[in-house]
Amino acid sequence: MAKELFFIIVGSIFVNNFVLSRFLGQCPFLGVSSKTETAVGMGMATTFVLTMTAVAAYFLQNYILAPFGLEPFLQIVSFILVIASLVQLVEMVILKISPTLYNAFGIFLPLVTTNCIVMGVALLIPMNNYNLIKSIALGLGAGIGFTLALALMSGIREDLEFADVPEALRGPAIVFITAGLLSMIFMGFTGLVPLG
């Protein structure tokens, strides 16, 4: 079990990084990776939401959708609705209890809701028949992988501020190409752990 959890986490960070090889969460990856501080804040918020989502999706799936046979057609709607509402609630709560925490990471929460990585993780859980602990591991791994990709990209982008990048490539273009090179590098981890 411990080994399996380890594989799930390492697998979703390196081998099948959610951003660089599964193509989830591209919008924030491009948008919020220009400064390391924001990138890490966003990464932490996403990791938090992903873990929460994993739990929510697990219960929703196994205690409501599956027992009532609603899974095939209510899965998408109910997942997204629950996630969106949960995140909004959490955001309000954080804003209320700690403005500092809110500024460090709460402000990123709304951005996370409509980010497909969240939905992706939620959908992968029933697809792989994960139990609760494995679901959490997946959420955590996906979040860390997302944070790693964002942090690496932000570091590179901060340095690129000083580089003489050709005019036409400035902005998203160079970020895409850099992401491509990063993704190429992450391919080195292929086959690192048997990811099921």
Partner 1 sequence: MLKTFIGGIHPPYNKELTNQKPIEKAILPKKVIIPMGMHIGAPCEPIVKVGDLVKKGQKIGEAKAFVSVPAHASISGKVVAVEPRPWPGGGLIMSVVIESDGKDELYEGIHPPKTLSHLTPDEIKNLIREAGITGLGGAGFPTQVKLSPPPEKGVDIIIVNAAECEPYITADHRLLLERPDDVVLGLEAIMKATGVKKSFIGIENNKLDAVDSIKKALQDKKDIEVVVLATKYPQGGEKQLIKAVTGREVPSGGLPMDVGVIVNNAGTCAAISNVLKTGLPLIERITTVTGSGIKEPKNLLIKIGTPLIDIIGQCGGFKGKPGKVLMGGPMMGLAQSQLEAPTIKGTSGLLVLEKADVKLYEPSPCIRCARCVDACPINLLPTNLAKFAEKNMWVEAESYHAMDCIECGCCSYVCPAHIPLTQHIRIAKSHIISSRKKK
Partner 2 sequence: MANSILTSMLSMGGLGLVLGGGLALASKKLAVKTDPRVDAIVEALPGANCGACGYPGCSGLAKSIVEGKAPINACPVGGTPVAEKIAKIMGVSDIDSEDDKKIVRVLCQGGKSEAKVKSEYHGVKTCKAASMVNNGPKSCSFACIGFGDCVKVCPVNAITMGDNGLPVIDGEKCTGCGLCVKECPKMVLALTSSKNEVHVRCRATMKGKDTRAVCSIGCIACKQCEKICPFDAIHVKNNVAVIDYEKCRNCMLCVEKCPTKSIKSLFVERKKAVIDEEKCIGCTLCAKNCPVNAITGEVKKVHVVNQDLCIGCGICQEKCRKGAIEMVRNE
Partner 3 sequence: MQLFKDFINGIWNENPIFKMVIGICSALAVTTAANNGIAMGLALTFVLTCSSILISLLRNVIPAKVRIPCYIIVVATFTTVVDLFMKAYFPSLYEVLGIFIPLIVVNCTVLARAESFASKVGLARATADALGMGLGFTWAITLISMIRELLGAGTLFGYRVMWDGFTPWVSAILPPGAFIVMGILVGLINMINRKTAKDTHSH
Nearer to partner 3, 84 or 90 (CB): 84
Q: Choose the stretch contacting ligand FES; rule: CB under 6 A; options: 21-29, 77-85, 138-146, 178-186.
A: 21-29
Regarding 37 and contact with partner 1 (CB under 8 A), the answer is no
Closest CA to 138 of 5, 17, 1: 5
Closest CA to 193 of 1, 5, 41, 62: 5
Q: How far is CA 27 from CA 11, 37, 68, 117, in A?
A: 22, 17, 35, 10
Distance CA 17, CA 23 (A): 8
Binding residues among 122-181 for partner 1 as defined by CB under 8 A: 161-162, 164
25 touching ligand FES, by CB under 6 A: yes
Residues that bind partner 3 (CB under 8 A): 20-27, 30, 72-77, 80-81, 84-85, 88, 114-116, 118-120, 123-124, 127, 166-169, 171-181, 183-184, 187
Binding to partner 2 by residue 28, rule CB under 8 A? yes
Strand ranges for the chain from DSSP E: none
Answer with the entry of ligand FES, partner 3, partner 1, none that 191 interacts with (C-beta below 5 to 8 A by kind). none
Quick check: 179 binds partner 2 (CB under 8 A)?
A: no
With CB under 6 A as the contact rule, the residue among 10, 22, 26, 64 that binds ligand FES is 26
Which CB atom, from 68 or from 162, has the smaller least distance to partner 1?
162
Task: Tell me the CA distances in angstroms from 2 to 5, 6, 113, 134, 137, one per residue in order.
Answer: 5, 6, 30, 10, 10
Give the Cα separation of 137 and 85 in Å (integer): 22
CA angle, corner 193, sides to 191 and 196, nearest 5? 95
CB-side neighbour CA atoms (13 Å) of 102: 12
- Can you give the binding site for partner 2, defined by CB under 8 A? 27-28, 30-32, 34-35, 38, 41-42, 64, 68-70, 73-74, 77-78, 81-82, 85, 88-89, 92-93, 95-96, 107-111, 113-114
- Can you give the binding site for partner 1, defined by CB under 8 A? 161-162, 164
- Can you give the binding site for ligand FES, defined by CB under 6 A? 25-27, 115-116
